[in-house]
């Protein structure tokens, strides 16, 4: 078997995983895409190990050993990443990456301060707040 076939397949898997990381908004799909990229690396490691073992009689099969190490690291990464995603989903109610980035707290935010509203202190400000709340209710319905 030629080295080109697993190398091309590995490149296609890696590019598919890279597209998934860059294009997806769901955190679980991003984790699955990272796993796909790691599997492409594993395929490359094993293919090159087999290819190089033909040249030398006494080989250590270091590519296969590195593959086992990568699989172990990937399993730990998926376990911890999924636990983090589930904890964030329970707290925020979404696993959308863009919404999580927008909802991040900044170090200068003080939770004891009341939020400033742009509605003013007069009766017109209260009417604007009521109109905005009604608009949000219509948008969600």
Q: Does residue 2 have a pLDDT over 80?
A: yes
Q: Write out the DSSP string of 66-134.
A: HHHHHHHHHHHHHHHHHHHHHHHHHHHS--BHHHHHHTPPPTT--TTSPPP-TT-SSHHHHHHHHHHHH
What is the pTM for the complete model shown?
0.64
Q: Does residue 100 have a pLDDT over 80?
A: no
Using one digit for the tens of pLDDT, what is the confidence trace for 101-113? 665 666 665 556 5
Sign of CA dihedral 39, 45, 47, 49: negative
Using one digit for the tens of pLDDT, what is the confidence trace for 54-99? 777 666 778 888 899 999 999 999 999 999 888 888 888 887 877 7
3 state SS of 26: strand
pLDDT for 102 equals 61
What's the farthest any 2 CA atoms get from each other in the chain?
A: 88
pLDDT for 44 equals 93
pLDDT for 76 equals 92
pLDDT for 98 equals 78
């Amino acid at each position: 078997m030629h080295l080109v076939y697993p190398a091309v397949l590995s490149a296609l898997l890696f590019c598919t995983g890279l597209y998934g990381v860059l294009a997806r908004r769901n955190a679980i799909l991003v984790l699955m895409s990272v796993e796909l990229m790691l599997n492409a690396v594993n395929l490359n490691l094993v293919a090159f190990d087999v290819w190089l073992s033909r040249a030398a009689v006494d080989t250590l099969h270091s590519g296969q050993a590195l593959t086992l190490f990568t699989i172990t690291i990937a399993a730990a990464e998926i376990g911890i990443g999924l636990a983090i995603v589930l904890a964030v989903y329970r707290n925020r109610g979404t696993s959308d990456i863009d919404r999580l980035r927008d909802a991040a707290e900044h170090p200068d935010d003080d939770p004891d301060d009341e939020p400033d509203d742009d509605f003013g202190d007069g009766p017109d400000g209260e009417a604007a707040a009521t109109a905005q709340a009604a608009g949000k209710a219509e948008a969600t319905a």
